[in-house]
Amino acid sequence: MKSPVVCFWGTRGSAPCPEPSHAKYGGHTSCIDVIYGDHHIVFDAGTGLQALDRSLAGVGHIDLLLSHTHFDHVCGFPHFKALFNPNFSCHIRAGHLPEGEYIEAIMAGLMEPPYFPMPMSFFNAQLSFTDFRVGERFILGSDIRVGTIALNHTNGATGYRLDGPGLSVCYITDIEHDGLVPDPDLATFVSQADLLIYDCSYTDEEYDAFAKGRGHSTWQAGMRLAKAGSVGNFAIFHHDPAHDDIAMDAIAAEATAEMSNCFVARDGLVWQPA
C-alpha cells in the first residue's frame, strides 16, 4: 500500500485572497485531502476544492468531512466538477448542525436561486449525506477510525481525528481557545497524533488587541495544544487574509524557532509522515 499523504489545497480562512502579495502561501480557503492508499478523505469544501478537483483524475470516490458550513468551508462545493461524473461518488458528513437541521438541505441551499444558477439535482454523481452527533466515532473504509469533538466556534464546528494505517491526523478548525492553558479534553483528543492541523487565524498579539470573541485562535495557542498533546508535527492553518507573504514568513520564522516540528501549511503542499 502507498504511504499516506496529506495534500493541502486551501489553507486560508474567512475569504479567498488570490493577490500576488499572498501567492507564496496561497489564497484558497479550507480544503485538505488525506489519502490512505486509494482512499481520499477530504476535510472541508472551501475554494481549495477547485484545486483538489483538478487532481482527482481516476479517483472514483471521496469521503468529505465538513468542520462546519460557514462560507469559507463550503463555497467550493457548487463548482465541484467531479460531481458531474456519473461514475464518481461523494459521501458528505457533518456533525455541527442543531437538531432538526440536515446537511443535505444546507448544501442544497447553497445552490438555490438567487445564489447559484443550477440546483444540486444537476449533479449526476452519486451524492450521499450523513448527519452525526458531534462526539460520535465511526469507521471509514475498513480501517480508518474517525473521532469527532465539538469546537468552540460561532454556530458550532466539529474537530476530527483520523487514525489509519501509517498516519494519525487531527483537523481542528474553526475554534476559539480559552486562556493560556489548552482545553484538557482537546489535548487528550489530539494526543500523540502524527499531525495536528489547527486554526491559526491570528497571533496572540492580534488576539489580545482586537480578535477576542471572533471565534478563532492563534498559532501560539495551537503550539501550546500541540505541546500539551505531544503531537508529532504541528501545521499552522486557516491563515487570515490580512497576513500577506511577508507576515506569514515572519510567523513561520518565529514559530519554527520555538518548535522545530512545526510548519506553515500553504496551498499545494504535500505532507508525508516521516
Q: Which residues bind Zn ion (CB under 5 A)?
A: 13, 70, 72, 174
Cell numbers of 170, please? 487531527
Please tell me what DSSP assigns to residue 124.
-
CB 26 within 8 A of CB 268: yes
Q: Give the residue carrying C-alpha cell 487570515.
A: 240
How near is the Cβ of 215 to Zn ion at its closest, in Å?
Answer: 6
Query: Nearest to Zn ion by Cβ — which residue?
Result: 70
Q: Rounded to the nearest whole angstrom, what is the least distance from the CB of residue 166 to Zn ion in the complex?
A: 28
Q: Which is nearer to Zn ion, 10 or 13 (CB)?
A: 13
Residue 208 CB, shortest distance to Zn ion, in Å, is: 21
Least distance from C-beta 32 to Zn ion, angstroms? 13
The gap from C-alpha 135 to its chain's centroid, in whole angstroms, comes to 17
Residue 156 is placed in which grid cell? 458550532
Choice between 80 and 237, CB closer to Zn ion: 237
Distance CA 192, CA 194 (A): 6
Q: Which is nearer to Zn ion, 72 or 183 (CB)?
A: 72
Q: Compute, in degrees rounded to 10, the torsion defined by CA atoms 168, 171, 177, 182.
A: 0
Q: Is the distance from CB of 220 to CB of 203 less than 8 angstroms?
A: yes
Beta bridge partners of 129: 92
Question: With respect to Zn ion, which residue has the nearer C-beta, 72 or 240?
Answer: 72
CB nearer to Zn ion: give 144 or 235.
235
